Amino acid sequence: MAGIKDKVVVVTGASSGIGEATAVLLAEKGAKLVLGARGVDRLKTLAHRIRQSGGEVAYAVTDVRKRADLSALVGLASEKFGKLDVIFNNAGVMPVSPLKDLRVDDWDEMIDVNIKGVLYGVAAALPVFRAQGFGHFVNTASTAAHKTVPNQSVYSGTKYAVRAISEGLRQEVAEEKLRVTIISPGFTRTNFADRVTNSEVKAQLAASRDKLAMSPDSIARAVAYAIEQPADVDVAEIIVRSTAQA
């Protein structure tokens, strides 16, 4: 089925940034949204906004570090709407710092959210997609999955992993006509710097964001483009950068 109207789409990390912008755009195009994030108040606000505009939406508080939460979110999609067309594994964190800081808790969080969160989404949705005979994984990587720079080695490592997992998955499910798309955003105007615990790195990132960043709407349009393609077309990866980003 080409297009977006009436497709059921699960979005993680839906309460802000790229997830929020994508949910709003897909709802405008007629998708039925199932939203997951840790912040219930923002989820409620977003769901109300979508409903006020005539969209159909369900939501559940979701911590992608917990496999059961992803299973419940996918289950909610099937229960509410009777199918699942797309899972957008978008939740991610970026508390970057120099390795010498030894911020091991931050490393663990990036591994748990950025890698395990994607894997748990795959584990939840893949059996549903195989039973249906259709389905589309959209996984958020980063331009940091293509280029590593100082202070971002662990973050880059997690996003390289997302690309490797996604490409391997694409090859494994191709014969079943399931689709896998990697979305690799560059600097995007989100709150990613808020969780950075090294004050110097945080200030550098905030300055770069203010100078270079593009709107989350730019990434939302890329996601929509991948989803709306005919069922026999798989957009394997989209890299989206601001024109100001080297």
Amino acid letter, residue 208? S
Does the structure show a pLDDT above 80 at 210? no
As a whole number, mean pLDDT of residues 221-244 equals: 95
Annotated catalytic residue 155: yes
Mean pLDDT of 122-138: 98
CA neighbours closer than 13 Å in the CB half-sphere of residue 199: 0
Catalytic-role residue among 59, 120, 155, 160: 155
Ordered alpha helix ranges (H), 183-244:
199-212, 216-227
DSSP-assigned letters across all residues of 39-58: -HHHHHHHHHHHHHTT-EEE
CA 118 → CA 46, 90, 142, distances in Å?
23, 8, 14
DSSP characters over 124-144 = HHHHHHHHHT--EEEEE--GG
The predicted pLDDT at position 66 comes to 98
pLDDT for 166: 98
CA geometry: angle at 218 spanning 70 and 141, to 5°?
45
d(CA 25, CA 46): 12
Average pLDDT over residues 50-77: 98
Q: Which whole number is the average pLDDT over 189-199?
A: 73
The whole-angstrom separation of Cα 180 and Cα 8 is 16
Predicted confidence (pLDDT) at residue 98 exceeds the cutoff of 80? yes
Total Cβ atoms within 10 A of residue 161: 18
Q: Looking at residue 26, what is its pLDDT?
A: 98
Look over the chain and give the mean of its residue pLDDT values, rounded to a whole number: 94
Overall average pLDDT of the 121-141 stretch: 98
- Judge contact between 13 and 92, C-beta under 8 A: yes
Phi, psi angles (nearest 5°) of residue 33: -100, 140
Q: Is the pLDDT of residue 1 over 60?
A: no
pLDDT in tens, 236-245: 999 999 987 7
Tokens standing for residue 43: 């989820």
Q: What is the pLDDT confidence band of residue 202, given thresholds at 50, 70 and 90?
A: confident
In Å, how far are 175, 181, 185, 242 from 64, measured between CA atoms?
28, 19, 20, 28
pLDDT tens digits for range 44-62: 999 999 999 999 999 999 9
Q: How far apart are CA 63 and CA 39, in angstroms?
A: 9
Q: Which domains does the chain have, with CATH numbers?
A: 8-240 (3.40.50.720)
Q: Checking DSSP bridges between strand 8-12 and strand 86-89, what pairing results, if any?
A: parallel
Predicted confidence (pLDDT) at residue 192 exceeds the cutoff of 70 = no
